[in-house]
Amino acid sequence: MGRQAARMNVNGKSYARVIDARLTLADFLRHEINLTGTHVGCEHGVCGACTVLVDGRTARSCLMFAVQANGCEVTTVEGLTPEGKLSVLQQAFIDNHGLQCGFCTPGMLITLTELLRDTPDPSEQEVREALTGNLCRCTGYAGIVAAALDAARRLRDADKQETT
């Protein structure tokens, strides 16, 4: 089996490993460097549980080989906030009951982190469309959508306070 060197920055920390060329990025994150927050729900790129940011853009870590992330900046759910704290979005998930079993949640958070970064004032429809790449079987999405809109509001308010 072909082995290759891979070096990447994950959540601000540099990792260098010699790995099987066929190792998926999801398995690398979960089992090589023990960041088990990223989940694998379908292994064919539909459910979105494995979504991470690669160089700032969402990617399915189950459909990427780890070696393809060579030289990239990867952000997982563990890297959304400094340890022990919750982001505005994560707190909004608690307040709006945006999760039940929590398995799809890391992917949801990553997708919405990208959305709120690029679209600070999304409509409900924009939130729902952004979430079509992430399946949730528990919540019926209502709490997730509410959390996203609530977080967007809180982030905009914080922004306003900062600029005034």
Residues that bind other proteins (CB under 8 A): 20, 22-23, 30, 34-44, 46-47, 49, 76-78, 81, 86, 90, 93-95, 97, 99-106, 109, 127-129, 131-132, 134-146
Q: Please, which residue, 58 or 90, has the CB nearer to other proteins?
A: 90
Smallest separation, CB 136 to other proteins (Å): 7
23 backbone dihedrals φ, ψ, rounded to 5°: -65, 125
Q: Residue 77: in which H helix or E strand, if any?
A: none
Helical segments of the chain, H only? 25-27, 88-95, 105-118, 124-130, 142-163
Smallest separation, CB 102 to other proteins (Å): 3
Q: Please, which residue, 45 or 73, has the CB nearer to other proteins?
A: 45
Q: Please, which residue, 58 or 105, has the CB nearer to other proteins?
A: 105
List the 51-54 sheet strands across, edge first. Answer: 13-20, 3-10, 73-75, 51-54, 57-60
